[in-house]
Structures are given as C-alpha cells and as structure tokens.
Amino acid sequence: MRYYTLLTSVFLAIQLCSGQSSTQSSVDPPAPVYPIPTQKQLDWQELEFYGFIHFTVNTFTDKEWGFGDESPEVFHPTELDARQWARVAKEVGMTGLILTAKHHDGFCLWPSEYTEHSVKNSPWKDGKGDVVQEFYEACKEYGLKFGVYLSPWDRNHPEYGREGYITYFRNQLKELLTNYGEVFEMWFDGANGGSGYYGGANETRRINTLEYYDWEETYKLIYEWSPNTLVWGVGPAEARWIGNERGIANKTNWSMLRQKDNLAGKVHYREFMSGHIDGEAWVPGEADVSIRPGWFYHKSEDDKVRSLEEMVDIYYKSIGRNATLLLNIPPDQRGLFHDNDIERLNEMVHVIKEDLKTNLLAGVTVKASNTRGKLYDQYGVRNLIDGDQDTYWTTDDGVIQSEITFEFEVPTTINRVLLQEYIALGQRIKEFDVLAKVDNQWLTIASETTIGYKRILRTENVTTQTLKIVIKDARGIPVLSNIEAFHAPRFVRNPQIERDGDGVVSIQAEKPTDIIYFTIDGSEPTFDSPKYTESFSMPGRGIIKALAHDEINDQSSVVIHEGFGSLKTDWKIIDIQGGSENNSQNIIDGDFSTRWTSDSDPETEFSITIDLNRIVTLKGFTYMPRSEKHDLKHISNFALYVSQDNANWEKVSEGEFSNIVNNPILQSVEIKPIDAQYIRLDSLKSTDDHGQIAIAELGIIE
Ligand code: FUL
C-alpha cells in the first residue's frame, strides 16, 4: 500500500512538472458500498416519472374493488383511445405507463386464453378487442415504456386460494410478458385475500402471500420469459412500495431494504417510507398515488382532483426524495382521461418546469475540501456541474467529512437545491448541510440526511454569493454526480378555510403578508371581492371561495372552495351498540382529529343511530376513518338504514369500503335521495378480525 502511494505521488509530481494534462488518471475509482443497484435498477430509477392507468369493470360499476361477480357485459367504453393516454403522458414528461391488465376483480383487459372473464365477452368491439395490445401500441408510438399490473388476488377465479390458481396466475403472467412487447415493470399489488365471488362460492378466502405464490419459482419464470422486466411489490422484488398511497417518501429514504426480514414477514410496511440503512438488498422506493381520491374513475370525483398545491408537493416528496413517482390517471367510462385531470397534470408540470428552469450553478466556480487523487480531473468537483450523470466527484479513501463550495459571480437568490449521488457505487450520504454566506456569516439553510439518486430541497429564498454543501456523515466516502440550484417563483399556497363547532369560520393564508379575497355567494373571488380580515359566523349550509394573493411578487394561489353542511350541533347520537357511549360525541363534532372506538372485538358488529333533529332529503353519507393511528381498524362493510320516526326503518345502502386500509380517506356513499330524520350505520365487517374500529367522523350528503 505504501509502495502504491509513493508511486502515485511520484507520478503526480512528474505530471505537475511536465504540465501534462491531468485527465489521464491512474487513481482507482472508489470501492462500491454494498448493496448496489443492477443496471436494470439504474435504468429504471432514471425513468423518474411514469403513469398508472386504473381501468376495468370498476370504471363502469363505480367501485374501487370489484367483487369478482361482475358480468363482462358491463365493460363498454364508448371512445376508448389508448393513444390519448400515451399522448398526454408524453406531453407531461412521463417516461412510461402501467396498466391494470387485471385488478382484484379478475376481469382481464386482454383476451386471455385461460378465462372467459375478459374483454372477449364484453360488448366492447364485439368481444374482439384487446386493451393491452392497444395500450402497448400506443406506448410504442409515443416512445413510452410499457408496464402491466396483474393482481395476484383474483376475486373471480374459482381456484383462488388453491393450487390450481397458481398455474392460472403464471399462465397469465406468461401471456402478458411474452405476447406483447418488453414489459419494463411488472406490478404485483399487496392487497390479497378476503371475501369474493370465487366462481360462485361467495366466501372468504385467505392465503399466506409469502408462501402461496412460491415467489422464488414465480420470479424465476418471469426472468426466463422477460429478463429485462423489473418486478415491483411482493416477493423478492427489485423495487418497493413507498408504504402509503399518498405518493410520499420520507425525507430519509434509503434505496436499501432488509428484504430477507421482509420476506419473513418481519418488516412493517410503514418502514418502506424510509427503507433500511442496513438493508442487504437494493430495493428502491416507488411512490404511487392517484390524481383523484380513488384509483378508478368515479364521476362524483370530477371535482375532487387533487389540488395543484398537493400535486406539486407530491413531486417534491417523491422524486425529490429519492423515489420514482407512479401517478395514476383513471380513464373515464368513455375510455379517455377526463379534462380536469389533464388540466391539473399540465399545471403541475408547468410549475415544476418553472421551478427548475435555470440551473444557477452551471458554470460557477466550485471547489472541494478534498478531491480523490488531488489534481486529477477524473474525480474533480467540476463533474458536479457538467450536466453529465456519469461523471462524479469523490474524495480520497477515508475522507468522509468534506465540503464543496460554489462561488457565484454576483449575489444570487436561490430556493431550490438539487443533489444526486452516483448510486452505481451505492447510496452513501447519511447527513449533510447546505450553508449560504450572508453578511459574511454562514447561514445553515438546510440540515438533511439522505440524498440517493436525487434529492431536491425547497428552502426559503436566500441571496448569497457563496453556497456550501457540508457532508457530515456517510456510509463511505461521498460520491456525488450532480448539484444544481434554482430560484423558483413564489408559489402561493391555498388559503385554509376552517369552521369550528360553533360555526365560526376562519381563513388563513400561508404568509401573513398574503391578502385573502373571498366570497360566500358562490361566485369566484376576484381582487374586487371582500378582503378577509377577521373570522365570521356561518352556522348554516354554504360555500366559501377564497384565494390568496402575494402583492410583492404578483402571484396568486388557485381559488379554493369549501362547502359546509348545516352544523351538527342539533344532532344527537341516540343509540350505540358494540361500543361505549363515551366519546361518541367525537363522531359528530366536525373534527377529524377526534375519534370514537368500538369494543375491542368487532366480531360483535356495531351500529350507531343518529337523530338529525329535522327531516332532510338525504343523498348519502360520509365516513371518515381514523387515518393516523395504525393499530386501529376500519369498517370494511356497512349497511345504512334511515327512518322518519325512529320506528320504521328502511335499508338504503349496503356495501364495502374497498382499499380503506391502504387509502384511509373520507368515504362518501351516495344513495337515491330520500327524506329522513334518523340514520343508522351498521358495521357488518371490519378490516381485520381483531382490535377496535375507529371512527373519526360521520356526516351526511344533503
Ligand atoms: C392497492 C389496490 O388495492 C388498489 O385498488 C390500487 O390498485 C392500488 C394501486 O393498490 O393496494
């Protein structure tokens, strides 16, 4: 080793004396810090942003999970055009699309040889169509990667839960992986087992996901059929779920996972949000989220497309936190993306493009406290700003703590910092700071943990001539490929409109200097509308619309609408079965952060009866599950009864809150309008066999 060091310095000295170009280097690259990604995983990570398409019988039955007994007859898109999906995806910068070829209901969007439960028995194209084929061709035409979702759970198949289904499942996998073009990602959802049609058995079937599919063998077959396909989700997957359906990774996000533990059922899925610093396998996170509350299209959600603010946040909290973003846009009953979704997508991409438009670090003076091989360009700091992901800066062996300093020619305002590690050699950085010199003092503008493939920090505006990145701790010497900085325009966040239990409304803007304009008559607020100065009373039903305006930067938020029903102050819970009356007021206090819980064994189904204190024309009800506390269960199956006199009751709805475990959002159930004063909600089944069920709030739709 000493001999090597001596030789290296002699070589260096000769080079310096002869003024030789320092690019011909003999300094070894840094040793990898394991685990490291495969080439397939590296290529996949670079895709960054791709789309999800949830489309099947559910689109026509208005459900999130089909039971499996849907007739193929219901599948009848009138204007299905996969080229529209691909065109929109391409225009907004997506790199691929993944289609639900088969969701939990078992209906196949391609004419599978192995079942009659498919498009071939639907009226669409007289049973001669193949959505997967059309989708594949559209992806090809627009230069997008082609991906498929094949639900391991099949609520239609008679053999599900038994051996026969595994053969069926693998046959279908083979069809999808070999009959079309190359599949870039195979998506295996984790929801598996429960009630279903199962060929007419109409029963509950539970399986052990870890064992039932013999994933080892199944994966072997997949790679035989399609070696370049990246497998996502269950089994020894090459990429992982991010642990929620909100599209959000934790700030600390490792691309490693203790996969062995995971396969032994020892990892809670919440851990997926951060991965494991000591994970033995490279299993990077993919953040999936729908542009609407549900994964499938529901007309009732046309006005519930996620706000621009939320979409922008999702981008920064997924791609900006070392995850890929899989964004769902559900085609409607025509088989086309809805205009509202397209508009929001375009708005989101516009904001991101504006935010990250001009890299202010391109061409600035940059220095590092240490560079591997000293004067060699091979690992020099200019590699950080050369726009080339394949070149990197790194340090001498053993030098972890290090600093990179950027010197602007003139004082420059920044509020975004983008950093990338050269992950081919492993993910390393554990702790780093970003500092700016302001009035000759170092100001810490960010103190962070991981970087990974990409990290984008949103900071306050800071005007500085010197910016410094301080690497404080890492799993090995730092190896960074890129650093950029930007000055994003001010994005004015939506004002928050709240009404308390007494009917007092308050509206709050993000910054005290923002001016809020609002209306209460349903009209769109303009700069001529009243300015909000203090809270006001609005006990009855109504709608408030508001926008926030930043006069200095001349930027406005979007207009936010908040509809309120009548106050529930007159409501009374007159009966509660299967749980104590204590805290029952929390069910109707208008506050999602308080809750009521049922008895610990919800096998004893519970029911709640509410007196609305007046006859209303009821159009439905809402149920807000408790979303933050994970050891509490939710209602999965319900029945709703109504009455005008608390004596004669009529059942007006019965159903399932599908996917409530992974996506515990406000559940809205619409019914045929009916006059009622009393409502009774029966919980018929919970999301798990044991434990208490929590209810944050019940409401009505008038
Ligand atoms: C979930 C499924 O149960 C949903 O229906 C949806 O497909 C989502 C992407 O994954 O777990």
Q: Are the C-beta atoms of residues 233 and 263 closer than 8 Å to each other? A: no
Cα(188) to centroid(ligand 1), Å:
10
Task: Annotate 658-674 with b (16+ C-beta within 10 A) or e (fewer).
Answer: bbbbbbbbebbbeeeee
Mutational test site, ligand 1, from 100, 109, 189, max ligand atoms within 8 Å of CB: 189
At 6-57, the pLDDT tens digits run 333 433 433 333 333 344 447 899 999 999 999 999 999 999 999 999 999 9
Q: Whose CA is nearest to atom 6 of ligand 1?
A: 295
Q: Distance, CA 290 to ligand 1 centroid (Å)?
A: 10
pTM here is 0.90
**Ligand 1 atom closest to Cα of residue 295:** 6
HEC string for 484-553: EEECCCCCCCCCEEEECCCCEEEEECCCCCCEEEEECCCCCCCCCCCECCCCEECCCCEEEEEEEEECCC
Ligand 1: nearest atom to the Cα of 290: 9
pLDDT of 18 reads 35
Q: Directed axis angle between helix 163-178 and helix 215-225, to 10°?
A: 20
DSSP calls for 47-102: T-EEEEE--STHHHHT-SS--S---GGG---SS--HHHHHHHHHHTT--EEEEEEE
Q: What parts of the chain have a pLDDT lower than 50?
A: 1-25
pLDDT digit string (tens) for 478-507? 999 999 999 999 999 999 999 987 889 999
Centre of ligand 1 to C-alpha 191, Å, is: 7
Distance 56 CA to ligand 1 centre (A): 13
* Strand-strand pairing, 555-556 and 542-550: antiparallel
Ligand 1 atom nearest to CA at 103:
7
User: Could you identify the atom of ligand 1 that is nearest to the CA of residue 151?
Assistant: 7
Ligand 1 centroid, distance to 660 Cα (angstroms):
10
Integer CA distances (angstroms), 311 to 340, 579, 627, in order: 13, 39, 20
Amino acid at 189: D
Alpha carbon 158 to its chain centroid, in Å, reads: 33
Judge residue 143's burial from the number of C-beta atoms within 10 Å of its C-beta, 0-12 exposed, 13-18 middle, 19 or more buried: exposed
Q: For 381-419, how does the pLDDT look when each residue is reduced to its tens digit (9 = 90+)?
A: 999 999 999 999 999 999 999 999 999 999 999 999 999
Contacts of 29 (CB under 8 A, 6+ apart): 379, 394, 425
Of the CA atoms within 13 Å of residue 16, those in its CB half-sphere come to 10
Give pLDDT tens digits for 123-179. Answer: 999 999 999 999 999 999 999 999 999 999 999 999 999 999 999 999 999 999 999
Closest residue by Cα to atom 10, ligand 1, is: 189
Among the atoms of ligand 1, which is closest to the Cα of residue 65?
5
